[in-house]
Amino acid sequence: MPKKVHQSSIRRALINLIMLITAICLSLSISISTYLSVKEQKQLIINKLVILSEIVAFDAGKSVTEDDRKTEEKRLKSFENIPLVKNIHIYSIEKSSQKPIFLLALTQKKRRLYR
């Protein structure tokens, strides 16, 4: 039995080529769109965290200089319900050596305050 040779017409070949080009362009545009969206969301999250860190730093200024741990513990507990915040570490600056000294921290995993 002779094998049947399937001939494709020029019209069919052009349709297949157009479908292939369309699929490639669609995949490429979805990939680029997803990449740009993720990049934008990452920048928005970073901006929100910078704002939160500035708020924490501003609020902690007075109580850190006065070494008021109880006030800072209350302040850190207010951030426990914010899922965006993973960790908060507060340091004070030693006057003589100008080195940071660990004061308090809040971690999301266990939601505990560390002293």
b/e sequence 81-103, b meaning 16+ C-beta within 10 Å: eeeebeebebebeeeeeeeeeeb
Mean pLDDT confidence for 104-110: 73
User: Does position 101 have pLDDT exceeding 70, yes or no?
Assistant: yes
For residues 96 and 76, is the Cβ–Cβ distance under 8 A?
no
Amino acid (1-letter code) at residue 114? Y
For the ranges 31-40, 88-97, 106-115, the lowest mean pLDDT is seen at 106-115
What's the rounded Cα separation, in Å, for the pair 17 and 22? 9
User: Does position 43 have pLDDT exceeding 70, yes or no?
Assistant: yes
User: Does position 18 have pLDDT exceeding 80, yes or no?
Assistant: yes
Tell me the three state secondary structure of residue 101.
strand
Structure confidence at residue 111 (pLDDT): 52
Instruction: Compute the mean pLDDT over every residue in the chain, rounded to the nearest whole number.
Output: 83
What's the rounded Cα separation, in Å, for the pair 55 and 80? 15
φ, ψ at 100 (rounded to 5°): -70, 140
Tell me the three state secondary structure of residue 64.
helix
- DSSP symbol at 33: H
Mean pLDDT confidence for 106-113: 64
What's the rounded Cα separation, in Å, for the pair 113 and 73? 7
User: Does position 49 have pLDDT exceeding 90, yes or no?
Assistant: no
Stronger pLDDT, 82 or 20, i.e. the higher one: 20
Structure confidence at residue 69 (pLDDT): 80
